A and B are shown apart, each in its own frame.
Chain A
């Protein structure tokens, strides 16, 4: 069985997040110094070789992303941290920023050196106003100690829009606009913030960087599942005894997360379903619980790793009611830029409400399944493409629950 292993949360509880000397005493900012002693291509090659993949949900090879921005020719490049964690049930990035803000800053500074950027932004969700002060304190301490050299970091606050977790919507928001996703390509590493090459990485991704630089790519690549190595922070919610967080290697199974780390289901009740990766994640039944949590293993069962939220439902839960609530979420959070998502999420919520209130027919299940399939391939961004997943996977795995509610 995989044991808990702390990489991104390595300093959790060990340091005072507002004291840079505590971070330095744990070896902090040594990796940045080491990175600057390497030439840029070797550094990027090392990150590539570690096989670190983005922890925000898309799972793209981090070093490869950096190499695109490195190769791009421009008078200005940007490093942006996506700290807009809006996936319901997720609070891992808050844990990192609250407890160890310097690991994020060090990771960003290493990226800035690698791609040749002098300006960075941390886009922090509006629901975390207390983090702005912590981050600004940490940034000015790092500046004062001379670690950041010519690299400046500014903290920007979101204002309550789930779609801004999508990197191009986030970029629009930093530019002071409505957070609507852009058409891609061009991708941000070639044309991002204000049209300049931009790396957008998640908080957890950046927090891995100093350790990879310090201990080497081979060490990192040997942890967990080879195609998605390293650790992942999970946050457990719903019907689970330990409503808390864990950082585990990626070869940990879903069953271990729920029963070993989560302590199982409260009140002696039986497991019904688990939704992983946030509110756009698939609902997973009992028979698939032995799947490792790594990206490709999850994809193979039609699920996603996403943000690492683990939302457990016991046998007494009305899954159709929960999915109706989720459909309402997407109807509310759709930005309205593309028709398949704007109209699709509204119709999806409408049909789910009809089924949930006992007025649905088998025809409605057929219609909503077809709508879901169309949305997954026709929506502009990840929000609309993933929005049908909870509906489609519950129809697939928990059809009886739907049938029980039909007229």
Chain B
């Protein structure tokens, strides 16, 4: 596992590179640890409030620890009418957690998202950015098994 200092340093010379650095940190840690935000503020020469402001503005960044595999369920209108609510219920049941929570073993996090641009096959979920199309409650166990 790469350290956050090393990751941030590699973006130090990229103008406006803090968002790219945050993406890279999340790839390793699944969230943005407080120390990493402090370090980013230092390296990009920003007040801590601004570095934190960027981290909390974007919905894909989390400043709280969360499960390693981030499951995001689209709840935009096309997925909403295609039955996203049943998929939400099935995921909550299967993982034993509610939306916005992570599993005890740290394996999964459950989040809502808005449209992920795969509307040819709704409802859609993504796991670590990989889309799963035409998802039904019956398909959930099989999809999750890939990450266990």
Say whether chain B's binding surface is mostly helix, strand, loop, or mixed.
loop
Cα distance, A88 to B44, chains bound together (Å): 34
Cα distance, A389 to B88, chains bound together (Å): 28
Q: Is the CB of A235 within 8 A of B60?
A: no
Cα distance, A225 to B122, chains bound together (Å): 32
Q: Is the CB of B121 within 8 A of A243?
A: yes
Checking B57, B58, B61, B76 against A89 with a beta-carbon cut-off of 8 angstroms, the contacting residue is B76
Give A70 Cβ to nearest chain B Cβ, in Å. Answer: 24
Q: Is the CB of B16 within 8 A of A329?
A: no
The tally of residues in A whose CB lies under 8 Å from a CB in B reads 49
Determine if A397 is an interface residue (Cβ-Cβ < 8 Å). Answer: no
Determine if B19 is an interface residue (Cβ-Cβ < 8 Å). Answer: yes
Cα distance, A8 to B38, chains bound together (Å): 44
Closest to A179 in B: B57
Cα distance, A159 to B55, chains bound together (Å): 10
Determine if B120 is an interface residue (Cβ-Cβ < 8 Å). Answer: yes
Q: Is the CB of A325 within 8 A of B54?
A: no
Instruction: State which of B90-98, B99-107, B109-117, B136-144 sits at the interface with chain A.
Output: B109-117
What is the interface residue range for chain B against chain A?
Answer: 35 or more
Chain A window 81-104, contacts with chain B (Cβ cutoff 8 Å), 1 for yes, 0 for no: 000011111110010000000000
Chain A window 325-347, contacts with chain B (Cβ cutoff 8 Å), 1 for yes, 0 for no: 11001001101000000000000
Q: Which residue of B16, B77, B114 has the most chain A CB atoms within 10 A of its CB atom?
A: B77
Determine if A244 is an interface residue (Cβ-Cβ < 8 Å). Answer: yes
Closest to A235 in B: B119
Binding site for A on B (CB under 8 A): 15-20, 22-23, 44, 50, 53-54, 57-61, 75-78, 80-81, 113-122, 126, 129
Interface CB pairs A-B, < 8 A, 15:
A89-B119, A127-B115, A127-B129, A156-B20, A159-B23, A161-B58, A175-B15, A176-B44, A177-B16, A243-B119, A243-B122, A322-B80, A325-B76, A329-B76, A332-B114
Binding site for B on A (CB under 8 A): 85-91, 94, 125-130, 156-162, 173-179, 194, 235, 237-239, 243-245, 275, 279, 309, 311, 313, 317, 322, 325-326, 329, 332-333, 335
